[in-house]
Amino acid sequence: MADRTDKVLSVENLVINFRTDHGILKAIRNVSFDLYEGETLCIVGESGSGKSVTSKAIMGILANNAIIENGSILYRGENLLEVSEEEFCKIRGHRIGMVFQDPLSALNPTVKIGKQITEAMLIHSDKLKTMYNDLISDDLIRYRNTLARMNIAISTERKKLEALEAEMKSRKALTLAQKAEDKLLLQQKKAAFRAFERETRAKYAEEAKRCKAVLAETKKRAKKQVAEYRRKLTGEYREKTRAMRRKLALSSGPEEKVRVKAELAAAREKFEKEVRLTAAEAKAQALQLMKEVGIPEPEKRYSQYPFELSGGMRQRIVIAIALAASPEILICDEPTTALDVTIQSQILELINRIKAERKLSCIFITHDLGVVANMADRVAVMYAGKIVEYGKTEEIFFDPRHPYTWALLASIPDVDSKEKLESIPGTPPDMIRPPKGDAFAPRNPYAMNIDFREEPPFFAITETHSAATWLEDPHAPKMEKPRIVSERIRISLEGAAHE
């Protein structure tokens, strides 16, 4: 378990809705969790539980109809929900990488593997431009983020207004009085939005003006510094090559001429490497990455297309692309779903090995608790847009408390257990109209009357383990775990004791 002081990512009270033709879909409902340096946090739940939406929010790639109602995503103390898209481009991939579910969809079928791996490297190949960008980075980020906070605040309120207007238009069989009331309410909301927009722009205008003035001065200094550095590099290179050319002109034999020409070529190559990442360097780095993720014959694969590779090889390529910029956080969104069981195991072992070698922090998203048994340090179980149980891996597997976690464990195939495999009854709720109380109550055979009336809070089981279920209330009747879950826990504990 990671030291509790080295937090790299913190999601706090995140609420995300989506505007749809049928109404507002409540996708993420007050989700909070932390990620610590060097650990793997697994987020587990059925399709539609909100796992992928959470990861996309962290990456800043939510759909345009998303409305972030509340919360923050703090990366190294910076709220990712308030940064500009330009700043996010520096974070996305470079600081936080992502491995997507379907490698065939993640890769361009018409572009060779090598180009797809080196593309991001070569986009940032100009080292002098990178130097300039680094010098102005802090002031540029401050200016852009000021504008971003303004635009995000206005955009959020605009989306809320549009959602209200769409909801009103969808209402049917209204009386004339109700239509008039809706029209008046909409006019009031539009007026309130226009006032909010004016106030928000005025609020940020002065701050943006100050940031822009500071940025202008920083750009001047940065241009001068980069120009001086380039002159120094160019001057040293020219002086060195002039001396070599004089030496070449005075060479007495063919062997000496060949040696001096080689020195000239080496000096040229060294100079080019100091000002830009060359295609040859990018290829060498790509081949090294391909070896690192276990791709045989990388030189051959480098020139192939994605459709020429197997599913497992394509997923390894996707992992290599995610690692190309050396991120410190890796998000894996169900990376083994499209693969067969044997290849799944290989990919999981690969992710574990790379995580250890590169000291990565990892968020692993899956619908299968069985996949995470040997992956996770901590597990967050999600249902209907909420985390319903949260704890260390051993706590979730050996002392689960939420009935939904019991149901997930009972649905995992297990050759050691003689109990009949169970499925989870019913279907996930409609999140446009989420049920009152505990969203899992209609599918929960242990549900009590209160589950249908009130949403349960989190009950602390240990310092690191909590569950949002009324079964943990001191006044609740004692409920035994399903027999299949208790049997699997017993077999697992006995197996661990004999190891």
- Concatenated DSSP letters for 352-415? HHHHHHHT-EEEEEES-HHHHTTT-SEEEEEETTEEEEEEEHHHHHHS--SHHHHHHHHTS--T
How buried is residue 460: exposed, middle or buried, by Cβ count under 10 Å (0-12/13-18/19+)? exposed
Mean predicted confidence (pLDDT) in 454-482: 93
Arithmetic mean of pLDDT over the chain: 88
Which pLDDT does position 114 carry in this prediction? 93
Q: Is the pLDDT of residue 106 over 50?
A: yes
> Model confidence at 414, in pLDDT bands (50, 70, 90)?
low
Whether residue 153 has pLDDT greater than 60: yes
CB 194 within 8 Å of CB 186 = no
20 or 15, greater pLDDT: 15
In the structure encoding, which two tokens stand for residue 460, read together? 């602390």
Lowest-pLDDT choice from 128-137, 324-333, 339-348: 339-348
Q: Which of 59-73, 122-136, 231-245 shows the lowest per-residue confidence on average (mean pLDDT)? A: 122-136
At residue 51, the pLDDT reads 93
Tell me: pLDDT of 391 over 90.
yes
pLDDT for the residue 492: 64
- Calculate mean pLDDT across residues 166-191: 86
What's the average model confidence in pLDDT over 341-356?
86
pLDDT in the model for residue 479? 86
Question: Please, what is the Cα angle at 98 between 15 and 346, to 5 degrees?
Answer: 125
Of the candidates 8, 27, 30, which has an alpha carbon nearest to the alpha carbon of residue 18? 27
CA 318 – CA 113 distance, rounded (Å): 10
